[in-house]
């Protein structure tokens, strides 16, 4: 999940279920994509790999449910750049270091407004 000290990034695909007024998205697969920015503070998904991955997700009859990337040196929340560059209506997962491990937090970004989404690691 990480390419520390560089930012890692990728897509999560799975199924989305609407039940009792709640949306529950369950990730089935996580697909890493090269960060062509090769940066510790920024990610730019390789567009060719991103397109290939989106086609794979579609042909597997799954939905794109999240975009993840890491912040090897924090913060544990989305950055201003993440908010302004958010292009997909999916959960944005940020991985950041926590003591000896990594933690994931999920955010919904809509019209530059951010709300945290509960993540459950199964
Ligand atoms: Zn970020």
Domain residue limits, the chain: 9-117
Distance between Cα 41 and ligand 1 center (Å): 7
| Per-position pLDDT tens, the chain of length 122 | 668 899 999 999 999 999 899 889 999 999 999 999 999 999 999 999 999 999 999 999 999 999 999 999 999 999 999 999 998 889 999 999 998 899 999 999 998 899 999 998 87
pLDDT in tens, 64-83: 999 999 999 999 999 999 99
User: How far away, in angstroms, is 98 Cα from ligand 1 center?
Assistant: 16
Among candidates 79, 88, 106, 98, which has minimal Cα distance to 25?
A: 106
6, 34 in Cβ contact below 8 A? Answer: no
CA distances from 109 to 3, 5, 26, 73 (A): 24, 25, 19, 22
Give the Å distance between the CA of 122 and the centre of ligand 1: 24
Distance 82 CA to ligand 1 centre (A): 5
Output the pLDDT for position 45. 96
CATH-assigned architecture of domain 9-117: 3-Layer(aba) Sandwich (3.40)
Alpha helix segments (H runs only) across 1-122: 47-59, 80-85
């Amino acid at each position: 999940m990480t390419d520390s000290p560089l930012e890692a990034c990728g897509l999560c695909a799975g199924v989305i279920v609407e039940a009792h007024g709640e949306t529950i998205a369950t990730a089935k697969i996580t697909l890493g994509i090269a960060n062509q920015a090769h940066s510790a503070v920024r990610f730019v998904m390789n567009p060719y790999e991103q397109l290939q991955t989106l086609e794979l997700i579609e042909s597997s009859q799954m939905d794109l449910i999240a975009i993840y990337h890491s912040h090897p040196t924090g913060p544990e929340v989305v950055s201003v750049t993440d908010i302004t560059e958010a292009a997909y209506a999916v959960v944005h997962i940020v991985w950041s270091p926590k003591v000896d491990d990594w933690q994931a937090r999920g955010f919904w970004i809509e019209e530059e407004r951010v709300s945290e989404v509960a993540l459950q690691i199964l």
